[in-house]
């Protein structure tokens, strides 16, 4: 039950972070939002790892791999949020849970049939919430392609970060992940000659997005050490529900009937897993 609670908590924090990331990416540009938020998280994790004296090389190395996937995922995700509708893009990216679920089952995880059914329902809800987007304009379809790329990156991140924290070395795993993701993002910024300047008044807010992301990563990592990866990956990927609700309440974005049905299915799936 603790693993379920931690995974769902990570969804809430990720959903809030992603919503704010999308807002600030629209107000500013992609490069400064990514770099400043990732840098804030790296500083926090570096200080925490140093104080704890837990720099395990294996956890750090696997964390680096997770960070590569994470960098691809977050860059594609924020770009999709900046060009598409938040309440559509976010559910598509949640399908990244299929990656760790499939790999975990292939490697021998055997959760109960009811729990797996709940996971399937939750993922079906995320898919249903985004199906109608494919009939939209070319720009909308482009945002869905970006969201699909984000899903693969996020799925790879979830899988490798879960393996990196095995053995109780959470801080070095998260530090390695953030180091790799920031390094790749900086390479991308240099290659595209993008500016990372932003108004001084925005820095703290954007840094806060990075700290929320770190908190979500830590909650998911803790869940992965206490439960089946095939289960917590799905529960940790229910953040679109939070993002959609915020987009509707704060921005007034319209939630279509397919999206509403998808959200209901996702909640039903989560409920089934939670009581199993």
- What does the alpha-carbon distance between residue 190 and residue 183 come to, in Å, rounded to a whole number? 11
Residue 201, burial from CB neighbour count under 10 angstroms (0-12, 13-18, 19+) = exposed
Nearest 5°: the CA angle 100, 52, 175 is 35
Q: What is the pLDDT, as a whole number, of residue 258? A: 76
Q: What is the pLDDT, as a whole number, of residue 133? A: 44
Q: Quick check: 274 pLDDT over 80?
A: no
Of the candidate ranges 151-160, 164-173, 234-243, the one whose mean pLDDT is the lowest = 234-243
DSSP category for residue 131: G
Distances (CA, A) of 150 to 2, 94, 127, 250: 28, 9, 14, 24
Q: Quick check: 79 pLDDT over 80?
A: no
DSSP category for residue 253: P
- What does the alpha-carbon distance between residue 247 and residue 256 come to, in Å, rounded to a whole number? 13
pTM over 0.75: yes
> Residues 67, 178: contact at Cβ < 8 Å?
yes
Longest dimension (CA), the chain: 53
Q: What is the pLDDT, as a whole number, of residue 162? A: 92
pLDDT (tens digit per residue) in 126-143: 667 655 444 444 555 677
> Residues 243, 86: contact at Cβ < 8 Å?
yes
Q: Quick check: 102 pLDDT over 70?
A: yes
> Residues 244, 72: contact at Cβ < 8 Å?
no
pLDDT (tens digit per residue) in 1-58: 788 889 989 989 988 998 888 788 777 777 888 889 989 999 999 999 888 876 788 9
**pLDDT class of 83 with cuts at 50, 70, 90:** low
Distances (CA, A) of 267 to 164, 229, 263: 29, 19, 6
> Residues 21, 137: contact at Cβ < 8 Å?
no
* Residue 27, domain extent: 2-275
**Block residue for tokens 């949020």:** 81
Q: Quick check: 169 pLDDT over 50?
A: yes
- When the pLDDT of each residue in the chain is averaged and rounded to a whole number, the result is 83
Q: How many domains does the chain have?
A: 1
- What does the alpha-carbon distance between residue 149 and residue 84 come to, in Å, rounded to a whole number? 14
Residue 113, burial from CB neighbour count under 10 angstroms (0-12, 13-18, 19+) = exposed
Q: Which residue has the higher pLDDT, 274 or 211?
A: 211
- What does the alpha-carbon distance between residue 108 and residue 128 come to, in Å, rounded to a whole number? 29
pLDDT (tens digit per residue) in 48-65: 988 887 678 899 999 999
> Residues 211, 40: contact at Cβ < 8 Å?
yes
């Amino acid at each position: 039950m603790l693993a379920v609670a931690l995974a769902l908590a990570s969804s809430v924090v990720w959903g809030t972070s992603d919503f704010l990331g999308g807002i600030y990416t629209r107000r500013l540009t992609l490069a400064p939002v990514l770099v400043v938020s990732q840098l804030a998280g790296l500083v926090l994790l570096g200080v925490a790892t140093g104080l704890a004296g837990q720099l395990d090389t294996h956890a750090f190395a696997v964390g680096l791999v997770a960070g590569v996937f994470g960098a691809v995922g977050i860059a594609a995700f924020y770009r999709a949020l900046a060009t598409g509708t938040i309440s559509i893009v976010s559910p598509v990216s949640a399908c990244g849970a299929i990656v760790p679920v499939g790999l975990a089952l292939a490697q021998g995880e055997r959760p109960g049939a009811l729990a797996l059914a709940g996971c399937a329902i939750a993922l079906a809800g995320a898919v249903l919430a985004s199906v109608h987007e494919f009939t939209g304009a070319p720009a909308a379809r482009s945002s869905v392609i970006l969201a699909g790329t984000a899903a693969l990156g996020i799925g790879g991140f979830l899988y490798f970060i879960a393996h990196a924290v095995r053995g109780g070395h959470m801080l070095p795993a998260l530090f390695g992940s953030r180091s790799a993701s920031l390094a790749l993002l900086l390479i991308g910024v240099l290659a595209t000659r993008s500016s990372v300047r932003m108004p001084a008044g925005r820095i703290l807010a954007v840094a806060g997005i990075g700290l929320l992301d770190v908190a979500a990563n830590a909650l998911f990592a803790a869940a992965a050490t206490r439960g089946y990866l095939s289960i917590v990956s799905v529960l940790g990927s229910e953040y679109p529900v939070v993002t959609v609700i915020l987009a509707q309440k704060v921005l007034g974005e319209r939630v279509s009937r397919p999206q509403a049905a998808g959200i209901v299915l996702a909640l039903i799936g989560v409920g089934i897993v939670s009581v199993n």
